[in-house]
A and B are shown apart, each in its own frame.
Chain A
Amino acid sequence: MSLVSGPGRGGMTAIPAELQLFVDKHVRYIQSLDTRKDELEYWLTEHLRLNGLYWGLTALHLLGHPDALPRQEIIGFVLSCLHGNGGFGAAPGHDAHILYTVSGVQILATLNAFDELEERVKDGRKKIGQYIADLQDPETGTFAGDEWGERDTRFLYGALNALSLMNLLHLVNVDKAVEYVQSCANFDGAYGTRPGAESHAGQVFTCVGALTIAGRLDLVDQDKLGAWLSERQLKNGGLNGRPEKKEDVCYSWWVMSSLAMLNKLHWIDGKKLTSFILQCQDPEGGGLADRPGDMVDVFHTVFGLAGLSLLKYPGLAEVDPV
């Protein structure tokens, strides 16, 4: 899946007053992404290939076209990124890293392909689970991204997410991980990448997601966090990720999924957000951009669609906020 942005831009042609979602255009846009190997950016975004594939696949599922990409080929590609140590690289020949391992597991789960994994790789699930478990720091409970040791709550969430998809949560110390997440809670009620780091909506998603998986949402000051999350909505309906920053379609997912996990989706104005997301579409070439007028890409396409799905936009499959 190519992460090349464009060619189209969101919201350039006047979108009719009767706002609509251009489902077929988006499906074709995603299908076209893998045919763009002659473009420089395709090669420069190789380090995100597996994530991109997951985003594209999820977008197609949301759009009700789960079969628009060839299943066997995807499984083949995903498994070609798997290393002997149980980790996935971003593309064949890239080092294993937790972010790609999570995407790999998510794709296999989406395609219901764990059986195929076991057929082709003996004890595949167990190996992957062990790779993830070994990245946990026994002292603090958090997770490193790879053997290099960069730490971030994104990795912690990814680890718990992938392990729970494989029913292997028992391989790690969940209580320690929960403790670490809580140490990232800030004075404003939200969460950052590390203890003390600035609150950020993307990080709130990872922390609330991790706590949801662990069944420990009781630890969250839910009203305070919900208030902070709803503060993210700007007058034009769009959401930002931090106070006094610009709106961006991807926060339709990070903010909304967090609110959904807290049962507070209605704390933002859904109508205004829906209209903002629809304005970010390229009605001709398909795809969504971060905000009207910018280039579309697969990342913003999937998170815009997932946001619409949480807003119960008609015709979209329902997404699980975790």
Chain B
Amino acid sequence: MPRFYHDDPAWSDVEPIAQDDGGPNPLAAIAYTDEYSEAMGYLRAVMANNEYSERVLSLTEHIITMNPAHYTVWLYRARALEQTDTSLADEIAWLNPTALMHLKNYQIWHHRQTIIDRLGSPDGEADFIATMLGQDSKNYHVWSYRQWLVKRFGIFDDKELAWTESMIEEDVRNNSAWNHRWFLVVGGRGGQGVSEDIVKREIEYAQTAIRKAPQNESPWNYLRGIIRHAKLPTSTVKSFILAFADLEKPDEVYSSHALDLLADIYIEENKKDKAMKVLDLLANKYDPIRAHYWNYRKGLLEETGAVG
């Protein structure tokens, strides 16, 4: 049912302010548009008076339901919540279904962050996030929000790590989940060192994931990131890589990413000829779409005087 304000006694004291768009507005083709433009007229009027009240909350809710991407409305609502004595828990309860209806909306998340920050507790947020990720497991806003929660409330615990693992378990190609794991183990800890045991655990974890889908970019990036972060040589994982790409078996390569790392290993070992052969395989056979990149890598190698 459309909702109108012009015959509502609770709003009789407000004169709506019409949109000034440089000309007369065309007649709305759909009744819903009438409803929207009228509500906006009332919003402009209350904003002109700096009114923060119960009815403003209800008006902003109405407009957000019609158009959640209208950032001014959210901003005004956040102020109204502050000025009136409204239960923040109720606000979150209202936000949940709203966010589910609008998965790609920026404003909802910022609003939620403001409210949860004021509430001072992440209780219930994990469940809500699970529901959201059920709709789109790679939603950038949801993962950014999860990261904010972890940081704001210091949730770098085993439970969070286990949850991240369950997300990777569900879809080993979920790069957002891999990024979250990195944040928990390395990135979010403010430069704190990672112990040898953990480095070993992470290398094994990435390797297990690679075995499931050898051409999946995410765990390879992760593996490379851990090795680099721990300042280990790439040859640390040489035997693992040879199982996916081996110059002895050029027709049985299971992953272009393995070839990429193999080239790094041969460069480390000063085996220029072998590294060249690996890069040739990439440019000509296993990743020809990026031939120019692989040829660039060959060029770099030629410049260095390494002996084969």
Contact = CB atoms under 8 A, between A and B. Distances in A.
Given A187-B186, A187-B225, A243-B218, A267 B25 contact: no
B47 to A, nearest CB: 9
B221 A150 contact: no
A176 to B, nearest CB: 19
Contact of A198 (B143, B151, B173, B289): B143
Interface residues of B, number: 56
Interface string B68-105: 01111001001000000000000000000000000000
A146 B225 CA distance: 35
A38 B28 contact: yes
Nearest to B27: A38
A242 B138 CA distance: 10
A243 B217 contact: yes
Interface in B167-215: 173-176, 179, 182-183, 186-188
Contact of B33 (A40, A90, A197, A230): A40
Contacts of B37: 43
Range class of the A interface residue count: 35 or more
A266 interface: yes
Interface string A129-151: 00000000000000000111010
B19 interface: yes
Most B CB contacts (10 A, CB to CB) among A46, A187, A226 go to A187
A187 B25 contact: no
B292 A266 contact: yes
B221 A188 contact: yes
Interface in A192-207: 192-200
A7 interface: no
Interface stretch (A15-23, A93-101, A248-256): A93-101
B216 interface: yes
Contact of A187 (B19, B229, B296): B229
Nearest to B288: A269
B290 A267 contact: yes
Given A187-B186, A267-B293, A200 B67 contact: no
B254 interface: no
A188 B218 CA distance: 9
A244 B218 contact: yes
B29 A244 contact: no
A77 B22 contact: yes
A231 B36 contact: no
Interface string A149-193: 010000000000000000000000000000000000011100011
Given A39-B29, A91-B21, 20 more contacts: A37-B25, A37-B26, A38-B27, A94-B72, A148-B78, A148-B110, A187-B222, A187-B224, A187-B225, A187-B228, A188-B224, A192-B179, A196-B187, A197-B179, A230-B293, A242-B176, A243-B218, A244-B218, A267-B290, A272-B289
Interface of B: 19-22, 25-30, 32-33, 36-37, 44, 66-67, 69-72, 75, 78, 106, 110, 138, 140, 143-144, 147, 151, 173-176, 179, 182-183, 186-188, 216-218, 221-222, 224-225, 228-229, 289-293, 296
User: 3 tightest CB-CB pairs across the interface, nearest first?
Assistant: A187-B225, A198-B179, A244-B173
Interface of A: 37-40, 43-48, 76-77, 80, 89-95, 97, 146-148, 150, 186-188, 192-200, 226-227, 230-231, 233, 235, 242-245, 264, 266-269, 272
6 contacts: A80-B20, A92-B19, A188-B221, A197-B179, A198-B179, A244-B217
